[in-house]
Amino acid sequence: MKKLFIVSFATLGFVACGKKADHVILSGKIDGYMGMPVELIGGTERHTLNVKSDGTFADTLTISTNYYNLLVQQTAMVPLYLQKGDELGINISLEKVTFSGKDTIIQVFLREKNKKINETRQNLETILSEELDGFKTTVADIKKQNDEFLGNYKGLPKEFVKLEEKSNHYFDLQLKALYPRVKSQFSGRQIEMPAEFKAELDKVDYTNETDFELFETYKALVMENFFGKYMNQEPDWKAMAEEIQAVKPAKIRSVFAEQLVFALNPQNGSETNEFIYKVIKDNVTKEDYLKHAEQLYAELEKLKSLKAGVISPKFEYENFKGGKTSLDDLKGKLVYIDIWATWCKPCLNEIPALQALEKEFHGKDIAFVSISIDQDKDKWLGYMKENKLQGIQLYAEMTTEGQNFIQDYSVSSIPRFILLDKEGKIISADAPRPSSPEIKELLVKNL
Segments making up each domain of the chain, as ranges: 23-102, 103-196, 310-446
The rounded Cα 241 to chain-centroid distance in angstroms is 18
Backbone angles phi, psi at 425, to 5 degrees: -95, 155
Residues of the chain with pLDDT under 50: 1-20, 96-101
The alpha carbons of the chain give a radius of gyration, in whole angstroms, of 27
Write down the mean pLDDT value for the chain. 87
Distance from C-alpha of 229 to C-alpha of 220, rounded to nearest angstrom: 14
**Other Cβ atoms within 10 Å of 75 Cβ, number:** 18
CATH fold label, 23-102: Immunoglobulin-like (2.60.40)
In this structure, are residues 315 and 326 in contact, taking their beta carbons and an 8 Å threshold? yes
CATH code that applies to domain 310-446: 3.40.30.10
What pLDDT does 75 receive? 65
Distance from C-alpha of 304 to C-alpha of 289, rounded to nearest angstrom: 23
Residues 6 or more apart whose Cβ sits within 8 Å of residue 2: 74, 75
Phi-psi map region of 131: left, alpha, beta (phi>0 left; psi -120 to 50 alpha): beta
> Strands 6-14, 99-100: parallel, antiparallel or unpaired by DSSP?
parallel
Q: What is the DSSP letter of 265?
A: -
Phi-psi map region of 391: left, alpha, beta (phi>0 left; psi -120 to 50 alpha): left
Q: Decide: pTM greater than 0.85.
A: no
